[in-house]
Amino acid sequence: MATGDGLALAYRAGAELADIEFYQFHPTALAIPGVPTFLISEAVRGEGAYLRNVDGERFMLRIDPRGELAPRDVVARAISAEMLRGGATHVYLDLSHMPNESVRSRFPTIDAYCRNAGLDMTTDPLPVAPAAHYLMGGVQTNLWGETNVPGLYACGEVACTGVHGANRLASNSLLEGLVFGARIVGRTTRTTAVDTENPYANVFRVSDLARASAGRPPLETPSRAALQKLMWNQVGLVRDEAGLGAARTELAAWQNALPESRTPAEHELKNMILIGSLMATAALERKESRGGHCRSDFPDANSRWQRHIILSKAPAARYAKEVK
């Protein structure tokens, strides 16, 4: 289970985090109460599956001319809006118009999982909903996996190497891990020529704001379930200033209210609350919509924000830089 421990450990050690406001949501996770979340591949829509709301309407056609083939961030937000509009906990993925045998042969793993959950994907509409999937940001590195902390390297999903931009293309993360893992080995063994240029030239730096506005007791007892609810509702697919500000204030109060961590679960919760607070901070700073970051109060991309937000524990004076 991903609980942000690598990000939190690196941040506390002084490493800089970049782009953590850019979070990707998978549009179609199987949503059956009591059944573990399972991602229904976007290739299913690519093969011709339809998305329908609880009334049976193929709603994507009125949202985007590409219908179900729109980019995953567009589809995920459309599904979320449709669920909210209809007061539903899911929409449906419909494959009933597709040839049965080709569906089973093309998607055997998904077919088997659905059958175990009591559904036949060739005839039964699959209840689906968006699910948190991939963080484009992470521990900032150069092109050799080096962080700003001497001797600390990062690669894979904990790292922000700069290759994913604001909205990762599917499966690029596997290639990233392979390429940068090899580059780190080459760098540490000195078997390869080294260019230490940092790709993050255009940045907006924010000093440690993780505990900002921590002046009141929490409204709710800190817990994993409460954190998931808060992040989904206020730092989720669609954000705004009021929700992000309220989230930061509550998360700061949680940080101050947490007792000393003694068990793995307590350490994980502390780390998740820290990263949630930092994510809300970055999302609040970025006053535009771009890629996996969507602000309803700033719905368009803004060229002034075509830069990276770097979060650090360093003193604010060192990183003072305004966005004009």
- CATH, residue 70: 3.90.700.10
Based on the domain organization, do 167 and 233 belong to the same domain?
A: yes
pLDDT of residue 321: 42
Shared domain for 148 and 189, answered yes or no, is yes
Residue 236 lies in a domain: yes
Q: Is the pLDDT of residue 214 over 80?
A: no
What pLDDT does residue 263 have? Answer: 94
- Residues 231 and 202 placed together within one structural domain of the fold: yes
pLDDT at 225: 95
219 and 274 in a single domain? The answer is: yes
Token couple for 24: 């990707």
Query: In sequence order, what DSSP letters do the residues of 163-176 get, joined into one string?
Result: SSTTSPPTTHHHHH
Token representation of residue 268: 């994980």
Task: Identify the three-state secondary structure at position 90.
Answer: coil
Task: Answer yes or no: do 125 and 159 share one domain.
Answer: no
Residue with tokens 């998978």: 26
Domain around 195? 5-22+136-319
Closest CA to 147 of 9, 291, 22: 9
Is 260 a domain residue?
A: yes
The domain tally of the chain equals: 2
Same domain, 162 and 237: yes
Q: Which positions are catalytic? A: 72
For 152-193, write each residue's pLDDT tens digit.
Answer: 999 999 999 989 999 988 778 888 999 999 999 988 887 666
Task: Check whether residue 121 and residue 191 sit in a common domain.
Answer: no
Whole-number Cα distances in Å, 123 to 35, 104, 128, 234, 260 = 19, 11, 15, 36, 52
Rounded Cα distance between 269 and 266, Å, is 5
At 60-110, the pLDDT tens digits run 999 999 999 999 899 999 999 999 998 999 999 999 999 999 999 999 999
Same-domain pairing of 193 and 270: yes
Cα gap 10→289, rounded to integer Å: 27
